[in-house]
Amino acid sequence: MTTHSHIPRVRTLVLVWLALICATGMTTGVSYVELGWMNIVVALLIAVVKASLVAWIFMGVRYTTSLTKLFVVAGLLWLGIMILLTFSDYHTRSWMYQPQPWSHGPGNGPATK
Amino acid sequence: MDAATLGMWTFLITEVLFFGGMFASYAVYRNMYLDAFASTSQYMNVVLGGTNTAVLICSSLTMVLAVRAAQLSNRRHLILFLILTMIFGVAFLVIKGFEYHAKWVEGLVPGLHWSGYTEHPEFAYHAQILFFLYFCMTGMHALHMVVGIGLLTFLLVQAYRRVFNANYFAPVEMIGLYWHFVDIVWIFLFPLLYLIGHRR
Amino acid sequence: MATLAQRSPEVEAEEVNYLNVEHGWKSWLLTTDHKRIAVLYIISITLMFFVGGLMAVLFRINLLVPEGLFSAETYNRLFSMHGIIMVFFFLVPSIPATLANFLIPIMVGAKDLAFPRINLLSWYLYIAGALLAIYAVVRGGVDTGWTFYAPFSTTYSNSYVLAAAFGVFTAGFSSILTGLNFIVTVHKMRAPGMTWSRLPLFVWSNYATGLIQVLGTPVLAITLLLLAFERIAHVGIFDPNIGGDPILFQHLFWFYSHPAVYIMILPGMGVISEIVSCFSRKRIFGYNFVAFSSMAIAVLSFVVWGHHMFITGESMYTGLAFSILSFMVAVPSAIKVFNWTATMYKGSVSFDTPMLYAFGFIGLFTIGGLTGLHLATLGTDIATHGTYFVVAHFHYVMVGGMVMAFMGGMHFWWPKITGRMYPEAWSKFAALIVFIGFNLTFFPQFILGYLGMPRRYHAYPPEFQALNVLSSAGASILGIGYVIPMVYFIWSLKNGPRAGKNPWGAAGLEWQIQSPPTTFNFDETPVVTEEAYNYGPLEEIVG
């Protein structure tokens, strides 16, 4: 028994294909425009849209069970955890320690005396 | 049937985390050495990379059309679209081969032949890390493509033997999922590796 | 002490079961029956356990004298191979590949796992990895520690790093496939009426373990590959000379290896749930809490890895975050301990061997877990990181915890797997020896670590000798405790009394089929109408 009795329409598939090709052109074109730190953001956003189209339509996530959708989200979430937490190390290495009024030790003198 | 689908998606999750380790490394080093990474862009062939992206997108279309043909018991179209997908896959690998060869000739292969980073020598060390990641990520991706083409060959043989029809097309669908996943990996690789900073 | 085991009336002797249905090496090496594959795994991991144990015997002998009996080089190789073999080739596969492989299909009411051939493939991958590891041992071993830290492993070590790394890499794929199989089986192959809330907690635990295996192990795979590229071609990714960061290796390595320790304990917790409820004749207290705590452990285990890196160079703010998260991950484990204890309260407790191991688990795992909090605290970790305190902590949870659970589970389900009973007096004796030997080995190590003795050192200051000698003495006792069951288990295969369907009077689908089971487990698909652990008053034991 198949849960994938949904047969996609050729028109839908070709439209998605067209969108993907255009998006590729867009991302290449935008990369020639100086946007500073926005360049990477735009590039990744476009990539996310493209990947979502492939997953949603070509891979059929649109018509799958909630369980499958959950699995997809979980996989992406775990990737996010790995990248974000690792990043938090590199991002905070340069933070300087600021002694607070309540802390004792280097910068603020001993706790007693 | 449902079990097979869930099994393939579970496997794809493992692949997300597998490639993810390389993406995490890339993210960390790019954040550390942004200028060096950007300076590598002139060595990246955007034309070939972009063409390859288009090639893979086309292969995804033919793959999903192949699955559809199997769902409709259309053996002729199934075989046609499988062959087209394979052709696109091989085209991708051939183009990649040209790219790799060019990098080798220019001396841009870290660890094995790294002497060609002459435009911005001050970035040579950090650029070496990017180039390693370039080879590692596109290489792993290419390896997955090779496996994919092998799987498609298996499907082709089965299709020729009239194994698939509207009541049984699970392997086509499963391998289609795998193929699309490999395409998605490339969709992220292309901007990250090829489009970093050539606007200078 | 009351015991529960009943002997069955004579001869259900020659009925057909999965063991005698076919003979010949092909029927074993090409089997897709999950039960036979489980038996293949039992044999393989037991062999690897003794190889890893041999390493331990050797280095504990070294530690009898302060100046060490072997060279530092040799000592490094011994503890590294001990760690690699015990972690990757014994603990990670242990319960999932053996007991869970055998029981999960039966417990959910299915004929086999979702992908029987992939199950067989995972065993072959395990064997391939194990052979690579043995090759590394035979050629002289690896000296990087089981953690393979760069840049020592990538640049400076002269040992067989690649062989060991690829052995682990291959075994990792075995683990991934096992996890994948369990996840799909539990989702898709449950018998009619077997809802999630009627599943035995052993299934919940192994399901959660499967999630960790699937999400974490691939990162280990890529990490080892990067290590291999660095070592072979010196590409520079972890080389500080060109701007690479060795800490990145640690981030990637521990992203898997911390969840891995939960791969190594969760199945054991599942076993304890089964044993405690059976030998208290009571349903598990707080079933929902225990089930969800397995899931919580699986999720939280992925956000605490930085606690291995507090003093190796990560930012202290990241350390702060990881420390808080590490405290949180202790909570679900504690919840389980409370629930097991509450199960025993007002239950009818009997002291058969599996229950003895369960008691050992609960006490020793609690000690191990609490000392983990000591290590999760930033300030105290500065003093105890890299000392014997850490070694004692993880041996309490892994050996006092997981290995005890494995032994308990093997004793509990031995009659089901083999159709035979082991000798009760010997098994109780062995359990006692294990408990005594274990504590004698590892409790002194807490003190040693607290006093400052570093781990992974072949020699130490003379004032630590007494404690080291105690520890080595304990290790020899512990070793005896592990050998005794080997002997009587093998003896019982031919000479043990035959067990019936349900020698313990336990609840659960596995106890309603014959011992040993037939190849397809059930004559007809069971229909489940009751919750798990529906223990009523002490009833007649059905042989």
Average pLDDT, chain C: 93
Could you tell me which chain B residue has the CA closest to the CA of C255? B21
| Residue A101 within any structural domain of the chain | no
Using a CB-CB distance cutoff of 8 angstroms, which residues of chain A are in contact with residue B60?
A: 17, 20, 54, 58
The per-residue pLDDT for range C16-67, each reduced to its tens digit, is 899 988 899 999 999 999 999 999 999 999 999 999 999 999 999 999 999 9
Chains contacting B with at least 3 CB pairs below 8 Å?
Answer: A, C
- Cβ pairs bridging B and C (under 8 Å): 99
ipTM: 0.94
Q: Which of B107-121, C120-134, C305-319, C493-507 has the lowest mean pLDDT?
A: B107-121
How sure is the predictor about C332, in pLDDT bands with cuts at 50, 70 and 90?
A: very high
- A67 has a chain C CB within 8 A of its CB: yes
Instruction: Write phi, then psi, for C238 (nearest 5 degrees).
Output: -115, 15
Q: Nearest by CB to C317, from A81, A86, A92: name it.
A: A92
Q: Which residues make Cβ contacts (< 8 Å) with residue C502, sequence separation at least 6?
A: C511, C512, C541, C542, C543
For residue C125, the SS3 value is: helix
Task: Please answer yes or no on whether A75 and B16 come within 8 Å at the CB atom.
Answer: yes
Number of domains in chain A: 2
Using a CB-CB distance cutoff of 8 angstroms, which residues of chain B are in contact with residue A62?
A: none
| pLDDT surpassing 60 at residue C108 | yes
| Residue A82 within any structural domain of the chain | yes
| pLDDT surpassing 70 at residue C3 | no
| Residue A77 within any structural domain of the chain | yes
Joined together, the tokens standing for residue C159 give 């040992």
Number of domains in chain B: 1
Chain C: closest CA distance from residue B131 (Å): 9
| Residue A100 within any structural domain of the chain | no
Task: Please answer yes or no on whether A71 and B21 come within 8 Å at the CB atom.
Answer: no
Q: Same structural domain for residues A26 and A54?
A: yes
pLDDT at A3: 47
| pLDDT surpassing 80 at residue C13 | no
Q: Nearest by CB to B17, from C218, C233, C245: name it.
A: C218
The per-residue pLDDT for range C489-515, each reduced to its tens digit, is 999 999 999 999 999 999 999 999 998
Q: Same structural domain for residues A12 and A47?
A: yes
Q: Same structural domain for residues A9 and A59?
A: yes
How many whole angstroms separate alpha carbon C319 and alpha carbon C305? 10
How many whole angstroms separate alpha carbon C499 and alpha carbon C6? 8
| Residue B200 within any structural domain of the chain | no
Using a CB-CB distance cutoff of 8 angstroms, which residues of chain A are in contact with residue C318?
A: 85, 88-89, 92
| Residue C450 within any structural domain of the chain | yes
- The residue among C108, C111, C119, C180 with the most chain B CBs within 10 A of its CB, best to mutate, is C180
Task: Please answer yes or no on whether A59 and B177 come within 8 Å at the CB atom.
Answer: yes
pTM score:
0.93
Q: Same structural domain for residues A54 and A90?
A: no
| Residue C535 within any structural domain of the chain | no
Chains contacting C with at least 3 CB pairs below 8 Å?
Answer: A, B
pLDDT at A5: 67
Task: Please answer yes or no on whether A82 and B198 come within 8 Å at the CB atom.
Answer: no
Task: Please answer yes or no on whether A58 and B58 come within 8 Å at the CB atom.
Answer: no
Using a CB-CB distance cutoff of 8 angstroms, which residues of chain C are in contact with residue A74?
A: 215
Joined together, the tokens standing for residue B32 give 């550390």
pLDDT at C221: 97
pLDDT at A94: 85
How sure is the predictor about A34, in pLDDT bands with cuts at 50, 70 and 90?
A: confident
Chain B: closest CA distance from residue C17 (Å): 27
Q: Same structural domain for residues A12 and A58?
A: yes
Percent pLDDT > 70 in chain C is: 96
Instruction: Write phi, then psi, for B199 (nearest 5 degrees).
Output: -80, -5
Average pLDDT, chain B: 92
Chain C: closest CA distance from residue A111 (Å): 16
| pLDDT surpassing 90 at residue A79 | yes
Task: Please answer yes or no on whether B50 and A24 come within 8 Å at the CB atom.
Answer: yes
The domain that contains B167 carries what CATH number? 1.20.120.80
Chain A: closest CA distance from residue C315 (Å): 5
How sure is the predictor about B41, in pLDDT bands with cuts at 50, 70 and 90?
A: confident
Q: Across the strands, what pairs with C454? A: C387
Chains contacting A with at least 3 CB pairs below 8 Å?
Answer: B, C
How sure is the predictor about C543, in pLDDT bands with cuts at 50, 70 and 90?
A: very low
- B47 has a chain A CB within 8 A of its CB: no
Chain C: closest CA distance from residue A90 (Å): 7
Q: Which domain holds residue B159?
A: 2-194
pLDDT at B121: 82
| Residue B126 within any structural domain of the chain | yes
Joined together, the tokens standing for residue B119 give 């435009």
pLDDT at B18: 96
How large is the average pLDDT for residues C113-130? Answer: 97
Task: Please answer yes or no on whether B199 and A24 come within 8 Å at the CB atom.
Answer: no
| Residue A110 within any structural domain of the chain | no
Using a CB-CB distance cutoff of 8 angstroms, which residues of chain B are in contact with residue A44?
A: 188, 191
Q: Which domain holds residue A71?
A: 65-95
| pLDDT surpassing 80 at residue A99 | no
| Residue B48 within any structural domain of the chain | yes
- B170 has a chain A CB within 8 A of its CB: yes
The per-residue pLDDT for range C337-361, each reduced to its tens digit, is 999 999 999 899 999 999 999 999 9
How large is the average pLDDT for residues C385-411? Answer: 96
| Residue A37 within any structural domain of the chain | yes
Task: Please answer yes or no on whether B199 and A74 come within 8 Å at the CB atom.
Answer: no
Q: Which domain holds residue C132?
A: 35-512
| Residue B177 within any structural domain of the chain | yes
| pLDDT surpassing 80 at residue C11 | no
pLDDT at A1: 36
Q: Same structural domain for residues A86 and A59?
A: no
Q: Which residues make Cβ contacts (< 8 Å) with residue C63, sequence separation at least 6?
A: C458, C460, C468, C471, C472
Query: Counting beta carbons within 10 angstroms of the beta carbon of residue A67, is it exposed (0 to 12), middle (13 to 18) or buried (19 or more)?
Result: middle
Closest by CA position to C161, among listed C76, C237, C228: C228
Using a CB-CB distance cutoff of 8 angstroms, which residues of chain B are in contact with residue A68?
A: 5-6, 9
Q: Nearest by CB to B9, from A43, A71, A82: name it.
A: A71
How large is the average pLDDT for residues C508-533? Answer: 90
Residue C409 CA, distance from chain mean position: 11
Could you tell me which chain B residue has the CA closest to the CA of A8? B68
Q: Same structural domain for residues A11 and A59?
A: yes
Using a CB-CB distance cutoff of 8 angstroms, which residues of chain B are in contact with residue C235?
A: 110-111, 128-129, 132
How large is the average pLDDT for residues C401-405? Answer: 96
Q: Which residues make Cβ contacts (< 8 Å) with residue A72, sequence separation at least 6?
A: A55, A61, B9, B13
| Residue C4 within any structural domain of the chain | no
Chain A: closest CA distance from residue B110 (Å): 24
Query: Counting beta carbons within 10 angstroms of the beta carbon of residue C26, is it exposed (0 to 12), middle (13 to 18) or buried (19 or more)?
Result: exposed
Name the amino acid, one letter, at C434: V
pLDDT at B199: 55
Q: Same structural domain for residues A46 and A78?
A: no
pLDDT at C72: 93
Instruction: Write phi, then psi, for C192 (nearest 5 degrees).
Output: -55, 135
The per-residue pLDDT for range C58-93, each reduced to its tens digit, is 999 999 999 999 999 999 999 999 999 999 999 999
| Residue B199 within any structural domain of the chain | no
